[in-house]
Structure 1
Amino acid sequence: MKKLLLALILLPIVNSANAQTTPKKTHSGNPVFKGWYADPEAVVFGKKYWIYPTFSAPYEKQVFFDAFSSPDLVNWTKHPRILDTAGVKWAKKAIWAPSIIKKKDQYFLFFGANDIQSDKESGGIGVAVANHPAGPFKDHLGKPLVDKFHNGAQPIDQFVFKDKDGKYYLIYGGWKHCNIALLNDQFTGFSPLKDGSTFKEITPDSYVEGPFMFMRNNKYYFMWSEGGWTGPDYCVAYAIADSPMGPFKRVGKILQQDAKIANGAGHHSVIRNEKTDDWYIVYHRRPLDQTNGNARETCIDKMYFDKDGLIKPVVMTTSGVSANFLR
């Protein structure tokens, strides 16, 4: 009996000594969430970071969007199927590259659909609307916002930019051409630009697709992807101008493959924590052991500027970024 009592007394001590405590997650890691996701649009709404990516799969299976939110860039919550083609009658496949912006109390989600190859096909750039960043989103127009080729630009890879004067612009284009157009107040169409045109070409040297724009110190940073999206040479380059209309003279690459980390790094977005002035680039890349074009994962790394305001080359990591709360 004494031996039994002694064993019972020592048992919790032994178990406590052998227990393993799960270490607290201090970095996001790359990829930041599981699954094949590409073309990530990152944005800040209130006290949360959000990422809206393409579901990376064969075109016929790209019929919905998931979204992800985080208070700190480290812990992410999945919001499944915020938009589905079941609610967009004209969209059948290849739902790509979501871009979202808040206007008043509504969230407008712009997307490409159907991968049209000519003006004779149905599809292009659409827009959906919701009262919450996690949706559910509903088709805003019942038809595409842009359904034709203008200036040679395939109507895909849309990005919505709010200028300092409160105007909203749609910047988009594949097939090595990029257009900018001024959205009307209802986001149902476009208003003429100062020169009287609707779609103005702003294509810089070596542009392929995936445009993105942000402002820093009153300068317009225009970024895009180069190379082929299924190849290892996919990369990100940029230019700087005094106007969203350009002209944009290419500065150089800032994100590209790393033989030790991943290849196919591109189609990105940029976010900033205004409180800390930390900048981040959110992008997709292909693991070194993958050859399938759709094997793309969403990653995040820090982005830095030099004393002249030029973007330093991004160092890709597997650790990702550390926690950074908003406000």
Structure 2
Amino acid sequence: MKPVPGTELSGNPILPGWYADPEAVIFGRQYWVYPTYSAPYNQQVFMDAFSSPDLVHWTKHPRILDTTSVKWAQRAMWAPAVVQKDKRYFLFFGANDVHEGEVGGIGVAVADRPEGPFRDYLGKPLIGNIHNGAQPIDQFVFQDPGGQYYIIYGGWSHCNIARLKPDFTGFLPFPDGTIYKEITPQNYVEGPIMFRRQGKYYFMWSEGGWTGPDYSVAYAVADSPLGPWQRVGKVLQQDAAVATGAGHHSVVQVPGTDEWYIIYHRRPLSETDQNHRVTCIERLYFDSQGRIQPVKLTQRGVAARKLK
């Protein structure tokens, strides 16, 4: 679908500067993007956010969270996930690039407004240990139609799902007594997200190495958040004429419509620094059988789209 002549376009990238791992959400009549500040780990000590009424004009909200408000976090703050609940905003984040025996992992911050300032909610990581081989990073929070919130996360080619308590202070066991269930699909590396469309659950993730040109996104479809997940195929990958390293994304649906957008990061062709990543947006389409269509990387981005 081509934009109508004269329609204002977002262009790509949509944000100025180096930003990766974008979490895109809608709060009220505003689109929000919460990305990783893409820099060496010791410089990744804060997070910015961006808001827009129309996907074209973006306002920066600097330092909505930083390590001064999270005492256990020293570096590598990344891949935020944000949900609104009970008039508060909860930001789930990774910190410290934690390994076994180290302090760090997935934390939670809370604020009264989507632009923060966010403060540490628990005073410690929500997930600070390695379970099922999954590094506690790249968290995504998903609410199913019954109201249950799930956290889906994991690096090192393993993905777990767990049921969050209603107040986000911990976890509810599954009926079999386990807390963390592994749901790793074929070729999974990191960056999981989940959404529901027409009664089906879609699980998407990133494949390949984030520093290389072949970083990409694949997906699976199931009838439950627990799967079983059978990989369908890739839907987002590099285009040698546009950009490389396209991955670690999120999706948003315009409320009340079947209109979807994918927000992701990629590396401009002129850049070789692994941290020189930019946040971009494209339309996301489904065919009549519900399959996600391959995404075409563009320089034009998407047409302006206000929320009602």
- What TM-score, normalized by structure 2, do the two folds share? 0.97
Deviation at 1:225, TM superposition (A): 0.1
Aligned to 1:195: 176
Partner of 1:62: 44
The aligned counterpart of 1:42 is: 24
Matched to 1:209, the amino acid is: E
2:153 aligned residue (160, 165, 172) = 172
How big is each residue's C-alpha offset from its partner over 1:54-92, in whole Å with a ceiling of 9 and x where there is no partner?
Answer: 000000000000000000000000000000100100000
Match of 1:80 among 35, 43, 62: 62
* Superposed structure 1 runs of 4+ greater than 6 Å apart: none
Q: Which residue of 1 aligns with 2:3?
A: none
**Structure 1 position 104 matched with structure 2 position 86:** yes
Please list every run of 5 or more consecutive structure 2 residues that lacks an aligned counterpart in the other structure.
Answer: 1-5
**Aligned pairs for 1:1-327 within 5 A:** 26-118=8-100, 120-327=101-308
- Please report how far the alpha carbon of residue 195 of structure 1 lies from its aligned counterpart in structure 2 after TM superposition: 2.0
Quote the offset at 1:295 in angstroms.
Answer: 0.5
Structure 1: stretches of 5+ with no match in the other structure: 1-23
CA contact (8 A) 2:7 2:303 kept: no
SS at match of 1:254: strand
Any idea what SS the aligned residue of 1:257 has?
coil
Amino acid in the other structure paired with 2:77: I
Partner SS state of residue 156, structure 1: coil
Distance in 1 between residues matched to 2:161 and 2:256, nearest whole Å: 31
CA distance in structure 2 between the aligned counterparts of 1:25 and 1:126, rounded to whole angstroms = 41
Whole-angstrom CA distance in 2 between matches of 1:114 and 1:248:
30
Q: Give the alignment's TM-score, normalised by structure 1.
A: 0.92
Distance 2:56 2:242 in 1: 20
Q: Percent identity?
A: 67
Q: Say which SS state the counterpart of residue 86 (structure 1) adopts.
A: helix
Structure 2: which amino acid aligns with 1:54?
T
Secondary structure at the aligned position of 2:42 is classed as helix
Hey, which of these two has a bigger chunk of helix by percent?
A: 1
Letter aligned with residue 32 of structure 1: I
Give me the whole-angstrom Cα distance separating, in 1, the residues matched to 2:173 and 2:139. Answer: 19
Tell me which structure has the larger Cα radius of gyration: 1
| Kept in 2: contact 1:65–1:82 (CA 8 A) | yes
CA contact (8 A) 1:154 1:173 kept: yes
Task: Tell me how far 1:277 sits from its aligned partner.
Answer: 2.6
Q: What letter matches 2:67 in structure 1?
A: T
Contact 2:15 2:58 in 1 (8 A): yes
Q: Per-residue CA shift, 1:257-305, capped at 9, x if unaligned? A: 0011000000000001124431100000000011110000000000000
- Asked if the contact 1:275–1:326 (Cα under 8 Å) also holds between the matched residues in 2, the reply is no
Residue 60 of structure 1 aligns to a residue in which SS?
helix
Q: Give, in whole Å, the separation in 2 of the partners of 1:276 and 1:211.
A: 24
Q: Distance in 2 between matches of 1:310 and 1:277?
A: 14
Give the conservation status (yes or no) of the 8 Å contact 2:139–2:151.
yes
CA distance in structure 2 between the aligned counterparts of 1:140 and 1:152, rounded to whole angstroms? 26
